Every structure is written in structure tokens, then in C-alpha cells.
């Protein structure tokens, strides 16, 4: 892929990935509320649905994930992506 990955979140935020260490850091730098706890791939709090695109894991995930789920603390965008953060 060429160009900077674009990240769409819950249909109402769109930003360009600025090469933060993880997707969770990227969401936080955009002040998008994103759940987290351990930041280490083992609590599952940061689980979101990946609706479109691909991510690359930068640290191991120790949580069981469905095919369309990712941990934002463990990955970075590999292409333009669209994610859904659970809202309560």
C-alpha cells in the first residue's frame, strides 16, 4: 500500500495514522475515547471490530479473538482501516 493509512472509527471520526507505536496510541492522540487496561495484549479491554482493512501486530495478543476482532494495544494499521469501538 502506498500513502499514509487512514483510520475510520465508528463512522464519525476519520484521521490519518501518524506512526504512533500502536493503534491505541493513535486513537488517544486523536482524543478518541478507546477502552484499555493492560496495554500488553492480555486483558482484552481494547478489543474492537475491524470492519475494513488490515492491521499488523507489533506485540503478541494473548486473548482469544474472533476473525473480525483486534486489540488496539497490539497492532498498527497496515492499510486504510475502519474499526468499530463498542459504545455504551
Residues that bind ligand FES (CB under 6 A): 36-39, 41-46, 63, 71, 73
3-class DSSP state for residue 25? helix
The residue (of 4 and 60) whose beta carbon lies closer to ligand FES is: 60
CA distance 31 to 64: 27
The residue (of 3 and 66) whose beta carbon lies closer to ligand FES is: 66
Question: What does residue 37 show for φ and ψ, rounded to 5 degrees?
Answer: -145, -75
What's the min distance (Å) between Cβ of 30 and ligand FES?
17
CA distance 53 to 25: 18
What's the min distance (Å) between Cβ of 73 and ligand FES?
3
Amino acid at each position: 500500500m502506498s500513502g499514509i493509512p487512514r483510520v475510520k472509527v465508528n463512522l464519525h471520526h476519520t484521521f490519518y495514522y501518524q506512526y504512533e507505536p500502536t493503534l491505541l496510541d493513535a486513537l488517544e492522540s486523536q482524543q478518541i475515547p478507546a477502552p484499555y487496561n493492560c496495554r500488553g495484549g492480555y486483558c482484552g479491554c481494547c478489543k474492537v471490530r475491524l470492519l475494513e482493512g488490515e492491521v499488523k501486530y507489533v506485540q503478541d495478543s494473548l486473548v482469544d479473538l474472533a476473525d473480525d476482532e483486534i486489540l488496539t494495544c497490539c497492532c498498527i494499521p497496515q492499510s486504510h482501516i475502519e474499526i468499530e469501538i463498542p459504545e455504551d
